[in-house]
Amino acid sequence: MPVQKRTPNTIVPDVTLDAKGFRCPMPILKAKNIIEGLGTGQILEILGTDPVSKHDLAGWCNYAGHTYLGVEEKDDFFRFYVRKG
């Protein structure tokens, strides 16, 4: 599954989850709870500080049938983008 290292500026999330400060597995657990309430094709943006999430979120998306759109690295946190499958 190809993973973008940087997301295009055209991605507009439907919902944003602030998971900064949380370590694995909390960002994924919180994302799972939120994405269950979204409609197919909607986009969840996850703000996080745990670098392990870069690999974990992509794997979770593959397992759960969602599309991992990529990650954008900011000064001190990451912006992950997931499209609900």
Q: How does DSSP assign 4-67, residue by residue?
A: -SS--TT---SEEEEETT--TTHHHHHHHHHHTTSPTT-EEEEEE--TTHHHHHHHHHHHHT-E
The active-site residue, picked from 3, 11, 15, 24, is 24
Residue 37 lies in a domain: yes
Predicted pLDDT of residue 59: 93
What total number of domains does the chain contain?
1
Residue 34 lies in a domain: yes
Residue 24 designated active-site? yes
Q: What is the pLDDT along the chain (85 residues), one digit of tens a residue?
A: 444 444 456 789 999 999 999 998 899 999 999 999 999 999 999 999 998 888 899 999 999 999 999 899 888 999 999 999 9
Residue 75 lies in a domain: yes
Residue 5 lies in a domain: no
Residue 7 lies in a domain: no
CATH of the domain at 54: 3.30.110.40
Predicted pLDDT of residue 55: 86
CA distance 3 to 20: 22
Q: Which of 52, 59, 41 is nearest to 3 (CA)?
A: 59
Predicted pLDDT of residue 8: 55
